[in-house]
A and B are shown apart, each in its own frame.
Chain A
Amino acid sequence: MPPTAADYVRILPEIVLSVWGMIVMFVEPILPAGRSRKGLGIFSAFGALAAIAATFYQAQPQFAGFGFNHMLHVDHFSIFFHLVVLLVALATILMSLDYLPFQKIDHGEYYALILLGAVGMCLMSSAVELVLIFIALEISSISSYILAGFRRHAAESAESSMKYFLLGSFATAFFLYGVALLYGATGSTNVFDIAATLGNASRIEPLAYVAVALIFTGLGFKVACAPFHIWTPDVYEGAPSPVVAFMSTAPKAAAFAVLIRLVIDTASPHWFWVIWTAAVLSMCVGNLGAILQSNVKRMLAYSSIAHAGYLMVAFASASNRELGISAAMFYSAAYAAMNVGAFAVITQMAGSGERFSQIDDYSGLGKRSPMLAAALTFFLLSLIGIPITGGFFAKFYVFSAALRTHLIWLTIIGVANSGMGSYYYLRLIVRMYMFEPRTDAPAPRVQLGVGLAIAISLIATLWLGVLPNVVLHYTQGAPTILAAH
């Protein structure tokens, strides 16, 4: 069956992003060497905006459904994750505009890599064909590997990229192996068919168990949940701050989307205990690890592990699909908003060569630049889960989903962890407001780009916390459209 016009609309955001990314790639070598690449960055920001517009166009009801012979499926679920990924990409581009020249790594391909990486992530959320999912995962991963090493003259950035690449390839191989076995066990590469086969089979092939374990290993690496989290602190510490903002949120959200479609939605055997264990481990390892850190980026790396754990709590309650999946979606959005915001402030604070990323360097920030400190405080409070922030409502929603599916122990562990977690975020707030300012650490003026990125995250976090109704309503519509049940 040849593709129809509607088929192309179903990948319109991806097309827009690819075209934009390629234009940037072509223009980059034409521009003279010493010239600022800020224009390309602004151009790319418009690319992200265009993709957001394309997503809204695609969201019309007549485009919902399968595209390209059941390769992908446009639904509430995919559109939601498209928007999360694209907004994160937009914020990342904005905060990089002045960061790149400042770090003397002002190269146009940076923006192209973000746009092309976003293609992969968007595709991950709509793909329902195992092979396509794998290709999308690779597109997203490879651009992340390169971006992690973008501060090419800094050794720790190269180390970060290398670690990420080696371990990442290893994880992808696991994923691919799992995909192959899943095909062997069910005879199909389509998520919907797999769901039907697994759902109807009177006896599940032992192969399927192995497949799920391998797939989970691969995706667990991408979302940085324990016990596949070891790489996270090193990679986050070495990578450029805006890149960390990007890769700690967008590829994670996309990988969570795949996890939902592939593992939970197909009712894979024994997913529950796998998720349960990963949730508990991630929360505990993440929070305990974060307490010990003295580097802000490492601390937030561990915090991101912990947050992957809270998200897994939502997954574990997906036996009530409406609640669990919608809670997971809401949490990814809220986490993306607050974490991107926090890293936008860190980007601003980094200084040349990212020298200022110790907790000590934030001493007295409340006096040195009150607005920046207030913004970071707001994001940290959201990460703790204090009311009026998106983080609070997300956590509340996740735990209420867990309790409604009678996961009492998981909730208790989660709640205890979130109490414990408040300590290390609080430590940073205390530093900013209750310590004397350091004279040697600079507080550079906030440029427009970073300012916009912070503003977008701030508004998103506040909106999700105070008026979550619209987003909630949207996420609650999503599970009913997912695979055949």
Chain B
Amino acid sequence: MNTSTLNPWILTLTTFLPAFGALLISFLPRRDRDIRWFALAISVITLLVSLHLPAHYREVAPTNSGSFAYEQNLRWITSPNIHYHVGIDGISLWLVVLTTFLVPFCVLASWKSIHERVKEFFILLLILETAMIGVFIALDLFLFYFFWEATLIPMALIIGIFGHQRRVYAAVKFFLYTMIASVFMLAAIIWLYAQSGTFDFVELQHLLATGAIALPGRAALWLFLGFFVAFAVKVPLFPLHTWLPDAHVEAPTAGSVLLAGVLLKMGTYGLLRFNIGLFPAEAHKNAPWIITLAIIGIVYGALVALVQPNMKKLIAYSSVSHLGFVVLGIYSFTRAGMDGAVYQMLNHGISTGALFLLLGVIYDRRHTYEIKEYGGLATPMPVYATLFLLITLSSIGLPLMNGFVGEFLILSGAFQAKAIYGIIAATGVIWSAFYMLWLYQRTFYGAVTVPVNATLPDANLRERSILWPLAIVALIMGIFPSLWMNSIDASVAGILGAQQAASSAPTLQVKVNTVLK
């Protein structure tokens, strides 16, 4: 088949395939085994279909900023003027693939650990996948909000039904935090529509950049904040992060993986695409305090992670720290920083996703996340220990692993923006090595401390087939970042270019050049 005929429909196909699968599952009889295989098949097919996107991206890559690849723009609702407008650039491309890549592993990870209400679980998981992909491809603000809110329910239900002891509390907290924050974004979206008569991101960006939309008084600031608060809760940016540890700890493994791997990226993606895309001048003006919050998040998240007695909570707080890096990179407004931020989003998806999957493996065996319950695991579980080490190294950013590339770029961007940002943020790297390696030492090295652990079976075939691919991808991303970076960099340059044209602030690039000289 000629692939170019597929191009306008490929995003729609990728997005709605999982939802279609969920619909089919709802008609299947309650035979858990069949449902698991079916869900796996659907998620793998979705992954394969989505690989069309990077495979042909070069042919359709947008040439100038403000245009998108694989675009499709259909009229959905006439009045109000809402379009089904989807498309991707080098940034959302990889986030879509990250999503479709992680879901099959989530299905596999839930193979044994979800044994009640299996049908409901996989229906929710697949609906969640559709909503997550939708968030990354939507170019109409209404459509974006539609998908954004649609992620909320399946995730809250996955936490609340299939989670651990305090699941209800965690689910309700997660729901209310994100729901209330995103209502402000809705108000901002509607207000923009009331002023301009369009929800289209590309049009709005153009209208705002040329000043065709009159923003009276401090309206621009309020709109910026309306979007910002919704994204900041999702990221989560300090001090709006308190829902995250609860949600992570209580969620089942697949829920944690998607929460950390994809849902948090929706926040940073939103910051990059919509906050900076629509209100560049406001973003510049507000960058100092946002960066400050990000840096507090980096250090605070790391320090709190250090003292956690619960492994899953430790990883959850490490997410706060890592996502702080991403926000820092975005708001450094340097090419290196933004490149690194996008790359770090992918890294964090892979490595933290893998860490939660790893924790799922021992949780299935021992039903606890307490660090003191483990010790000397390397003896009974050598393969598992090796994989855990690889992912740990990826998470702390050892050179040759993916984390290094992202953190290095972000920090160099931060130094370009202001040396002090880089200096403080860099301590986060040290802290992360500290808490992760200490965790590794306490759980894997030495003699077996708890007798039950001596007979734990090592990772089985299913578990290995989940963990090896992630470890290998982490390694490839560390050695050949250019495979990803070329398309990311082109899009970041586009955003930054539009930025500097629109921003009244003195161009940072000029400063950077003088500093470098």
* Cβ contact within 8 Å between A367 and B187: no
- Considering only residues 165-192 of chain B, those with a C-beta below 8 Å from chain A are 167-168, 171-172, 175-176, 179-180, 183-184, 186-187, 190-191
Q: In whole angstroms, what is the CA distance A60 to B76 when docked?
A: 27
* Cβ contact within 8 Å between B77 and A469: yes
Q: Which residue of B has the minimal Cβ distance to A405?
A: B194
* Cβ contact within 8 Å between B190 and A387: no
* Cβ contact within 8 Å between A434 and B190: no
- Considering only residues 189-235 of chain B, those with a C-beta below 8 Å from chain A are 190-191, 193-194
- Considering only residues 276-295 of chain A, those with a C-beta below 8 Å from chain B are none
| Contact code string A125-152 (vs B, CB < 8 Å = 1, else 0) | 0000000000000000000000000000
A-B contact pairs, 17 of them (CB 8 A): A367-B117, A370-B120, A381-B153, A386-B153, A387-B146, A387-B147, A396-B190, A399-B186, A403-B187, A412-B187, A415-B183, A419-B180, A423-B176, A433-B160, A434-B160, A434-B161, A469-B76
9 cross-chain pairs, A with B, having the tightest CB-CB distances, nearest first = A404-B194, A387-B146, A403-B194, A419-B180, A400-B190, A434-B168, A434-B160, A387-B149, A419-B183
- Among A367, A388, A399, point to the contact of B150 (Cβ < 8 A): A388
- Among B79, B160, B183, point to the contact of A430 (Cβ < 8 A): B160
A392 at the interface (CB under 8 A from B): yes
B493 at the interface (CB under 8 A from A): no
Q: In whole angstroms, what is the CA distance A412 to B190 when docked?
A: 12
Residues of chain B whose beta carbon lies under 8 Å from any beta carbon of chain A: 76-80, 117, 120, 142, 145-147, 149-150, 152-153, 157, 160-161, 167-168, 171-172, 175-176, 179-180, 183-184, 186-187, 190-191, 193-194
A483 at the interface (CB under 8 A from B): no
What distance in Å separates the Cβ of B146 from its nearest Cβ neighbour in chain A? 4
With known contacts A387-B145, A434-B171, A400–B153 Cβ distance under 8 A: no
What distance in Å separates the Cβ of A314 from its nearest Cβ neighbour in chain B? 14
Q: In whole angstroms, what is the CA distance A472 to B152 when docked?
A: 27
Q: Which residues of chain B have C-beta atoms less than 8 A from A418's C-beta?
A: 183
What distance in Å separates the Cβ of A463 from its nearest Cβ neighbour in chain B? 13
What distance in Å separates the Cβ of A318 from its nearest Cβ neighbour in chain B? 16
Q: Which residues of chain B have C-beta atoms less than 8 A from A355's C-beta?
A: none
A473 at the interface (CB under 8 A from B): yes
With known contacts A396-B186, A404-B194, A366–B161 Cβ distance under 8 A: yes
* Cβ contact within 8 Å between B150 and A387: yes
A422 at the interface (CB under 8 A from B): yes
* Cβ contact within 8 Å between A400 and B194: yes
Number of interface residues of A (CB under 8 A): 32
What distance in Å separates the Cβ of A91 from its nearest Cβ neighbour in chain B? 23
| Contact code string A446-481 (vs B, CB < 8 Å = 1, else 0) | 000000000000000000000011001100100000
Q: Which residues of chain A have C-beta atoms less than 8 A from B179's C-beta?
A: 419, 422
Known pairs A403-B190, A472-B77. 18 more at Cβ < 8 A?
A386-B150, A386-B153, A392-B149, A400-B80, A404-B194, A415-B183, A418-B183, A419-B183, A422-B176, A426-B172, A426-B175, A430-B168, A433-B157, A434-B161, A468-B77, A469-B77, A469-B78, A472-B79
Q: In whole angstroms, what is the CA distance A412 to B146 when docked?
A: 20
With known contacts A403-B194, A433-B161, A469-B78, A386–B149 Cβ distance under 8 A: yes
* Cβ contact within 8 Å between B186 and A415: yes
Q: Which residues of chain B have C-beta atoms less than 8 A from A366's C-beta?
A: 117, 120, 161
What distance in Å separates the Cβ of A68 from its nearest Cβ neighbour in chain B? 34
- Considering only residues 233-262 of chain A, those with a C-beta below 8 Å from chain B are none
The B interface is mostly helix, strand or loop, or mixed, namely helix
Q: In whole angstroms, what is the CA distance A418 to B349 when docked?
A: 33
Q: Which residues of chain B have C-beta atoms less than 8 A from A367's C-beta?
A: 117
Q: In whole angstroms, what is the CA distance A260 to B120 when docked?
A: 44
| Contact code string A376-414 (vs B, CB < 8 Å = 1, else 0) | 000001000011100010001101100110000001100
* Cβ contact within 8 Å between B120 and A430: no
Q: Taking each of A387, A423, A433, which has the highest tally of chain B beta carbons within 10 Å of its own beta carbon? A: A387
Q: In whole angstroms, what is the CA distance A387 to B149 when docked?
A: 6
What distance in Å separates the Cβ of A481 from its nearest Cβ neighbour in chain B? 17
Q: Which residues of chain B have C-beta atoms less than 8 A from A411's C-beta?
A: 187, 190
Q: Which residues of chain B have C-beta atoms less than 8 A from A430's C-beta?
A: 160, 168, 171-172
Q: In whole angstroms, what is the CA distance A261 to B120 when docked?
A: 47
What distance in Å separates the Cβ of B76 from its nearest Cβ neighbour in chain A? 8
Q: In whole angstroms, what is the CA distance A132 to B179 when docked?
A: 46
What distance in Å separates the Cβ of B178 from its nearest Cβ neighbour in chain A? 11
* Cβ contact within 8 Å between A386 and B194: no
Q: In whole angstroms, what is the CA distance A399 to B321 when docked?
A: 37
* Cβ contact within 8 Å between A473 and B153: no
What distance in Å separates the Cβ of B172 from its nearest Cβ neighbour in chain A? 6
Q: Which residue of B has the minimal Cβ distance to A326?
A: B79
Q: Which residues of chain A have C-beta atoms less than 8 A from B186's C-beta?
A: 396, 399, 415
* Cβ contact within 8 Å between B80 and A473: no
- Among A392, A422, A473, point to the contact of B175 (Cβ < 8 A): A422
Q: Which residue of B has the minimal Cβ distance to A373?
A: B120
With known contacts A404-B194, A411-B187, A419-B179, A473–B157 Cβ distance under 8 A: no
* Cβ contact within 8 Å between A434 and B120: no
* Cβ contact within 8 Å between B161 and A386: no
